[in-house]
Amino acid sequence: MEYQFPKNFWWGSAASGPQTEGTVSGDGKAQNIWDFWYQEKPEKFYQEVGPSETSQFYLNYQEDIQMMKAIGHNSFRTSIQWSRLIPNPETKKINEEAVVFYNHVIDELLSNDIEPFINLYHFDMPLSLQAKGGWLNREVVEDYIFYAKTCFELFGDRVKKWFTHNEPIVPVEGGYLYGWHYPDEVNLKHGVQVAYHETLASAKAIEVYHAQHYAGEIGIVLNLTPTYPRDKQNKADVEAARLVDGLFNRSFLDPAVKGEFPRDVVQWLKEHGLMPKVYKEDLELIRNNTIDLLGVNYYQPRRVKVKETPINHDLRFIMPEDFYDVYDMPGKKMNPYRGWEIYEKGIYDTLMNIKENYGNIRCYISENGMGVEREEQFMNAEGVIEDDYRIKFVIDHLKWVHQALQEGSQVQGYHMWTCMDNWSWLNAYKNRYGFIAVDLENKTKRTIKKSGYWFKELTEKNGFM
Ligand code: BGP
């Protein structure tokens, strides 16, 4: 086998509670920011399809887990919805229906030899906590710690892999810069405070987890975007790329792995009056509570050049893009549906960066995938979607993961986004990512795509030719 992977490599997929579970009358779930936003502004959502229109994992989890097993999963990541488990953060009362549900999911996964990887925060701030500012309010860090502690106590006997956040930069970009998440503000200073509180919350959750000596490990899932300057010989381009890497990657990666914020980013925040409110004891806590395992979501790189046009808007609403320009590299390969660049070597560059600059911490690819619109167009006469483009996408990335392994990376697994086509934030069902198609009319009907059958073969052989 030309591309053989190590024994015990984690093969599976990732999803999240808010994108898959759905709500059922009487389930006790309270509203989160997505339920609320859809109620307020349905026109913001693709074809006005909201967060209750998911693939109904809440009702179908048994069948779905059977299908995961059928296509070769030995691991699966999802998240526990905060607003389901603790519908009223004021009284801290636990929703017993949610406990039953998550217990069933975990037990069902384990009895099918699928390792549960459980994430805590996947963009789903409970509405009552958003009402007091969400991540902007330091008190919410304590609310989060109660939620994290509750999860560890309830499920920590069986769940051995925990993650504190999925892509903590996204609520900052989405909620405080670009309008893809509620509260839809443009305020980088608020965004920086939110980022700081997310990092603090993560370190505190790690502290709580380690203090109880659970027989497992805890980490964070970051979307890392390798950042390339237009011209490596041009100092100004290189400088712009360094800043972008600092803002979007290192500001979370450094505290998570090294226990400290990158100095150049802190300096830049100071120069621009963007420093968050920081307590000295927090820095000590962040230093002492770093991750055991890193989840790496990789979709696309960032290509950057020095800012060529002057800033021409009110500086109170400063944006990262005021300090660099996107470099539109001629001839780059694109996923035309999602509008994201496809650059397979970026996954290798990211893993080698972790090896060389982050102590070669153990990591796994926690998301990678290709969103395609209207996949029915690729359906054959037997009703199977022939998604050869997805198979090629995965193979091309796995070749680079394999290369990183050859060169000493401690990457321990690969999770596709996602198993079943699922609902996605403002895009709803526009982009389909799954190994398994979900009938959008009848949400309980699933059909394995060609890539699902291929994945089974890959996992059986633990590699490919
Ligand atoms: C990641 C998120 C996922 C998922 C995925 C695909 O950033 O962790 O929640 O949504 O991207 O993105 P999209 O559905 O927007 O195409």
Residue 437, sorted as left (phi over 0), alpha (psi -120 to 50) or beta, turns out to be beta
371 lines ligand 1 (CB under 6 A): yes
Instruction: Identify the band that residue 261 occupies on the pLDDT scale cut at 50, 70 and 90.
Output: very high
CA of residue 173 to ligand 1 center, whole Å:
13
Report, as an integer, the average pLDDT of 368-375: 98
Please check the confidence at residue 108 and state whether its pLDDT lies above 90: yes
Strands (E), 424-464: 436-438, 446-448, 463-464
Q: Are strands 115-121 and 161-166 parallel, antiparallel or unpaired?
A: parallel
421 lines ligand 1 (CB under 6 A): no
Q: Considering 167, 173, 344, 367, which one is annotated as catalytic?
A: 367
Of all protein residues, the one whose alpha carbon is nearest to atom 14 of ligand 1 is: 424
pLDDT value for 317: 79
Segment 50-77, tens digit of pLDDT: 999 999 999 999 999 999 999 999 999 9
CA of residue 316 to ligand 1 center, whole Å:
30
Instruction: Identify the band that residue 315 occupies on the pLDDT scale cut at 50, 70 and 90.
Output: low
Domain count, the chain: 1
Between the alpha carbon of residue 304 and those of residues 177, 232, 237, 244, 321, the distances in Å are: 19, 11, 7, 8, 10
The complex's ipTM works out to: 0.98
Range of the domain at 160: 3-464
% of the chain with per-residue pLDDT over 90: 96
Instruction: Identify the band that residue 32 occupies on the pLDDT scale cut at 50, 70 and 90.
Output: very high
Report, as an integer, the average pLDDT of 99-114: 98
Is 367 tagged catalytic?
yes
Segment 16-25, tens digit of pLDDT: 999 999 999 9
φ and ψ at residue 428, rounded to 5 degrees: 45, -120
Q: What is the CATH number of the domain that holds 182?
A: 3.20.20.80
- Taking the alpha carbons at both ends of the chain, their separation in whole angstroms is 5
Please check the confidence at residue 375 and state whether its pLDDT lies above 80: yes
180 lines ligand 1 (CB under 6 A): no
Instruction: Identify the band that residue 349 occupies on the pLDDT scale cut at 50, 70 and 90.
Output: very high
Instruction: Identify the band that residue 10 occupies on the pLDDT scale cut at 50, 70 and 90.
Output: very high
Between the alpha carbon of residue 376 and those of residues 381, 393, 440, 462, the distances in Å are: 11, 19, 11, 30
Average pLDDT over the chain, rounded to an integer: 97
H or E, element range at 416: strand 411-417
424 lines ligand 1 (CB under 6 A): yes
CA distance 399 to 2: 10
H or E, element range at 167: none
Please check the confidence at residue 105 and state whether its pLDDT lies above 80: yes
Between the alpha carbon of residue 252 and those of residues 108, 223, 268, the distances in Å are: 33, 10, 15
pLDDT value for 318: 85
Closest atom, ligand 1, to C-alpha of 19: 9
Of all protein residues, the one whose alpha carbon is nearest to atom 5 of ligand 1 is: 417
Report, as an integer, the average pLDDT of 357-379: 98
223 lines ligand 1 (CB under 6 A): yes
pTM above 0.95, yes or no: yes
